[in-house]
Each structure stands twice: as C-alpha cells, then as structure tokens.
A and B are shown apart, each in its own frame.
Chain A
Amino acid sequence: MSSVTLNNIVKRFGNFTAVHQSSLEIPEGAFITLLGPSGCGKTTNLRMIAGLLDPSEGEILIGGKRVNDVPIHKRNLGLVFQNYALFPHKTVAENVAFGLKYRDVPTEEIPKRVQDALDLVQLPNVGDRYPKELSGGQQQRIALARAIVIEPDVLLLDEPLSALDANLREDMRVELKRIQERIGVTTVFVTHDQSEALAMSDQIVVMSEGRVEQVGAPEEVYNTPASEFVANFLGASNILESRCTGTGDGVAIDAPIFGQMTIPAEKAPRITGEGPAKLVVRAEKLQLSDQPAPDGSVSVPATVETVDYQGQAVRYFVRAGDTQLQAINMIDGHPFAEGAEVHLHLRPQDCAALPG
C-alpha cells in the first residue's frame, strides 16, 4: 500500500497533448476515480502510473519514490483491464499464480495464496478451468484475484466493469468495493460511468480534454460542480445565464425565469462578487406540481412539452417562458401528460452557482 503522487504531469503524442499539467495526490488506501468522457486523458493518466506510458514532463511518485524510470514489471502494481486480459493458455490457478512466480514466495506457499485469492473473489472452485470456460463476470473476478494476490502497492482498474452487462455490473460494483475495503489497497479506478464513480469512490477526479476539472468527494462533486462541464457530465443540469447581485449573507442571484433568489455561500464558493454568473439547477431538484409552492420555494408556471417515462422516475422537458428546462421526478401516482400546465418548484438551497 502506498500513496500515489502526480506532479505536473504532461503527456504529448506528437502534436497532440493528451494530458495537460495535471497534479494529483492520492492518499494511502484511498479509492479514487478518474471520471470523464472518452478521450479526456483518464486512461492515459492510469497508463502513466502503471508505467505503460512515459510522461513527457513531470514526475510520478509511488510511496514517495519517483518511479518515472522504473519499468512496469518492477513497480509492483495490480492492473485490471476492461477485457480481462487473462492468459488463455493457462488455467485459472496458473493465471492467479503467475505474479507470485516473480516474487519471493516459497513454492509450497503458492497454492494457498492462490486459493485465498480465489476465495476472496468468491470463486473457490474454478482453479482447474480455462478462462474461456468462465462467464465474463467470472473472468473479471479472476483478473482481480490475479492482480491482488501479489499484494500490490497500488491497484489500477481500467474500466473493469464496462464489458459486463448492466445487472452484473451493479453486483460487481458492490463486490469490488467490498474487496478493496477488505484489503485496503490504494486504488485508482478509471471509468466514464458517473454512477460507478459516485457509488464507489472516496474521491472523484473529473477530467475533460486532458485537464482536471474538479477533485472532490462524490457528494461535493455532485452538489457543487466546479464548472459547467462537471455540472453537465454528472447527471442532468439546467444552466441558466444569470447575474450575481450581491454577496453577503448568501449569494444573491438574479436568474431568468426564477427571478431573484439567495443561495447558500457554500453552494457558490467560486463567486467572489457581483457580475455575470451561471445558475446550476439539477434536473432532479426541479419539482413539477399542479399547485403553487406553499412555503419559501420559488414557484413558476410552465408547460410540459415532452414526457420520458422511465419506470420509477420520469424525465420531463418543460417550457417556462422561452426557456426549455429538464426535470427528473420520482413518480407518485400518474406522471403529468404532455401539454399539462404545471408549477415548477425549486428550493434556492438546492441550486449552485458558478462565475459567468
């Protein structure tokens, strides 16, 4: 177990810069997720930590030691790939034992270590089989067992759940988190799936176009996005061009449609004074109702334009004035029909604001 540090890392491929000046501090034992759309540089970062790519600039430290010049096979890392990458010509037990051969593990101890790893991933009886005889989910568990049996300093997971189908993915998510907590290994997880990131991480690093957009705990990243990109990438948000009209007891925002409102200062940490601002309204915070709001909520009339029924929830596109907004509401009884006249309720403390 070790901490991982990236110091001003830059990675260029020819003229293309895949990662711009990114710095990152991953504490020992943390589960941190690099989240972003494809091509944002998250995998490039992971591969540089693994030693599969050399950074063009900057340095990488594992456990406080600079590893830029340490080749991958001497870094003591566990690496799990999207498509499992098991050795097809070796049995499951041979796959798991592979890394132990290159370590000072006494030969007679190897079978026990392999069995412990297989027990940990809850596949104790498949040692004699070949990888192709296992399902995708089972293969990924074996890949995980193979990576952790060597007691790596850092566990690197490159979209390990993306090749699995939806139900299995959610089970594996819980399973992976359980195993990580059990062995307490520092883990770097790469994904483009926001729900995986939110569910599993201690810290999320949101990346876009080779830059780190925000680093924070899942709740923090979700509720107080640091940029328009983060607000849009994690869940659905409405972004309204507004003005900040004063900072004092909370941040006063003059927004279109919703008018004047005051939002808590901690939801707008980046606003320093009066001027243009963006109001971020999460789709699930915008409630549709046939009644005006009774309490201190903001309430404006709107018309339902599109209804996207999703079972337990429904996604509405509504029009208020000349602006289209989206809202995701849990269904209580029947959803509103298209064309219905409704009231939009919004509590100011559920909003966030960014500098314009």
Chain B
Amino acid sequence: MGWNLVRIWTVLVYLFMFLPVAVVVLLSFNASQFGSFPMTGFSFRWFVELAQNEAILRAFRTSIVLGLLTAMISTTLGVLASLALVRYRVPGSNLISTLLIAPILVPEVVLAVALLLFLNFLQINKSFTLLLLGHVIFTLPFVILVVQARLVSIKRDVEEAAMSLGASPRQTFFQITLPLMLPAVLAGALFAFTISFDDITGTLFWKPGGVETVPTQIFAMLRNSISPEINALGTVMIVMTVGLPLLGLAIARQVAKKSGG
C-alpha cells in the first residue's frame, strides 16, 4: 500500500516535469493551424515552415556560431586554468578557483546587469564579441569543474615517468596528460556549447540590436502569438540540447574505455 503511493507520487512528479515537454513535441507534428489541442493530423508542415523562416534560420546560425566559439574559448581557458590550479603551486590558488567558479553562484540576472553596467561605464557598445565574452564567463566554471575533477585523478607519476623517459614538459602534456583528460575536455566543451545554446537571460541583456539567438527569437515570437512554429522550434531545441550531451557522453565513454578509464 505504502509503496504504491510512492510509485504513484513518483509518476506524478515525472509527469509534471516532462508532460509539458512531451506536449510541445507532440503538437509540433500537429497539422492544425493552431498550436494547441485538438490535433487534426500528423504533419511535418511546421518544420518545413521553420526551415523557410529567414529570421529563425538566422537566429539558428547565430546560436550555433556563438555556441561553438563559446565552447572553444571556454574549453581552452578552462583546461589551462585547471592545469595551473591542479599541477602548479599558484599563489592564492584557492581564491582564484573560487573566483572562477563564482559565476555559477551569482544569479545570472545580477551577472548580466553587472557586465552591462560595466560596459556602459567603459562606454563600450554592445557587440557580438561582448555577447561571446559574457557566454564564456558563465560557461567557464562548468568546464573548470569537469576538467579539474579529471585532472586530479591523473597521477603525477605518469607524467613524471614520461619526463624521465625523455619527453619535455610540452611533449608530456600532448602525449600523456591531454589524451588522458580528453573525455573531460570533450564533456566540458559540450557543456559550454549546450549552456550557451540554451541561454536567454544573459543573452537578452548583452545582445546587440538586430542579433537574435534561438531562445531570444522564440521569446520575441511568443510576444505576438503562439504559433505552431514555436512548437517545432522547441522540438528542435530539445533534440539539440538533450541529444547532443547524450551523444557526447557516449563518445566520451568510448574514448575513456579505449584509454583505460
């Protein structure tokens, strides 16, 4: 009896969490003019319209370029910062570590407004570069957390062995350390991409006029009406932000298996 209650409760919680998502996905295949029930038939119509909507395509391109650049920069910086913090005795490394992680802890709105006011103070105009900068700031902590955790588990002995065999510190990094931390580096890059692709709060504050990412585009469209196109766009977003990390995880697991964990 008691267990059944728990089961029912669990199912209800999951329904509450995922039903709206499922409804969006379901409705994106609705043939009807209106983005709501009842469904009148199965159709890819809204996806086709989506693919022909110039504004959405532009937003998509922006989001992908922004996401890729964010992932590249964040991962590079994150790997370097992790190496410095884990492998070298940097003065004030605890403080630096806390500061680098801080963007996770500060509410995003606060961070967004702060950066905006700061730019205002410096009399710098909003631009794509600054948007990118903002995304790097708050994806960096995720990369650092993931990469640091992996780096700690790579024994110093292995690197010392490589150096004793004649590899310079640089060769040791590329031959030994980097391959061993590759799963974490890939995971970090993926995190950075997904978070950047998903972000709306910071982006709304930082984006220059005329530039839209997918989330801000959806937001703008919603202000007018709930078009069935939005359901289709939502479905694409779900596939990208859920599917990509799962794919990445699978790849990372394969790499890890090959490199002996």
* Residue positions of A touching B, CB distance < 8 A: 50, 52, 71-79, 81, 83, 85-89, 98-99, 101-103, 130-132, 143, 146-147, 150, 156
Contacts and interface: CB of A to CB of B under 8 A. Distances in A.
12 contacts: A50-B164, A72-B164, A73-B167, A86-B161, A88-B158, A88-B180, A98-B162, A98-B167, A99-B166, A102-B165, A131-B260, A132-B260
B163 interface: yes
Interface string B220-261: 000000000000000000000000000000000000001111
A89 B258 CA distance: 7
B155 A85 contact: yes
A86 B260 CA distance: 11
Given A86-B161, A132-B261, 14 more contacts: A50-B160, A52-B160, A73-B166, A73-B168, A81-B160, A87-B162, A88-B180, A88-B260, A88-B261, A89-B179, A98-B162, A98-B167, A143-B161, A146-B165
Interface of B: 155, 157-158, 160-169, 171-172, 175-176, 179-180, 258-261
Given A131-B260, A132-B260, A87 B164 contact: no
B157 A102 contact: no
A83 B258 CA distance: 21
B260 to A, nearest CB: 3
A83 B160 CA distance: 12
A86 B168 CA distance: 17
Contact of B157 (A71, A74, A85): A85
A87 B258 CA distance: 12
Contacts of A74: 166
A52 B155 CA distance: 15
Contacts of A76: 166
Contacts of A79: 160-161, 164
Residue in B158, B166, B169 whose Cβ sees the most chain A Cβ within 10 Å? B166
A98 B259 contact: no
B233 to A, nearest CB: 41
Please provide the 10 A-B residue pairs with the shortest distance between their CB atoms, ordered closest to farther.
Answer: A102-B166, A99-B165, A88-B260, A89-B259, A85-B157, A79-B164, A85-B161, A73-B163, A72-B163, A132-B260
